Amino acid sequence: RPVLPLLPTSAPAMLRRERWQVSASGGPLSRRSFSTDALPAIAQGALGLLSFAAKAYALILLAVFALQRKLIFLPQERVIDPKMQGGNPEVILLAGKSGDEQRAAVYFPPPRPDAPILVYFHGNADEIGNGAAYLGNMFRANYGLGLFGIEYPGYGLARPGSPSEASISEAAETLLRHLIRDRGVDPSRIVLFGQSIGCAVAVEMAKRGLGSRMVLLAPFTSMPDMATGLYPFLRPALKLVPWMVLDRFDNK
């Protein structure tokens, strides 16, 4: 029977060294050496992909920040006369703070002098010549209520003007104080009625003590909550830079 020669104890290490030397000299690469050599290329590709994603995300955030008011406020180009829907309402026009802007409202006086008056704040794509005029006729004819529809700056008859949380609140307070002071309406008769984005205006006027009751149709908690609900990718950015939302409309 043939006798196999004994290898020295250092033979495995010698074999590994020889295999490494062959690989380093241009022979077949082992799996381990191939993976090690490929790591820099993989890391570079991953970093490039992350860089591209970060730049794209930053561009999207910049676009949302720059265009947010055009996404929130959607005034119609056509101005609708509130009297077109009948009922012979009074159209109220007042000068704004700056003198260049105009404040507007439509008023349907109640049949009885002591009846409640709904002060209506419409949605982001409406105007007083549309929703407020329709509701004014309906509530007065069917329920004996008055209606005072407030227009937002930049909408309908309130042009020129630019809508924002601050400008809408200022216009709403100006017109409400006109209703109370100049029209003799006691605040106890005023019911603040908001729809959609108008809910935020109604809540703000209630905080300022300009009404006794409130009705909210399709309310929301805040504009940041609305934004992250509709566009979840904004959530991380708004946690880091909450000031990105210019008009917060916080109703909490």
CA distance 132 to 208: 23
pLDDT at 40: 79
Angle formed by the axes of helices 165-177 and 198-207, to 10°?
Answer: 60
Predicted confidence at residue 46, as pLDDT, reads 82
Residue 96: what pLDDT? 84
pLDDT, position 247: 97
Structure-token match 């101005």, residue found: 79
What pLDDT is stored for residue 49 in this prediction?
85
Radius of gyration, CA atoms only, the chain: 34
- DSSP per-residue string spanning 192-216: EEEETTHHHHHHHHHHTT--SEEEE
Running along the chain, 252 residues long, what does each successive block of 10 average in pLDDT?
A: 51 46 48 60 82 89 93 95 93 86 96 96 97 97 97 96 96 97 96 98 97 97 94 92 94 90
CA angle 173, 166, 158 (to 5 degrees): 65
Question: What's residue 21's pLDDT?
Answer: 46
Placement of tokens 């009074």 in the chain:
90
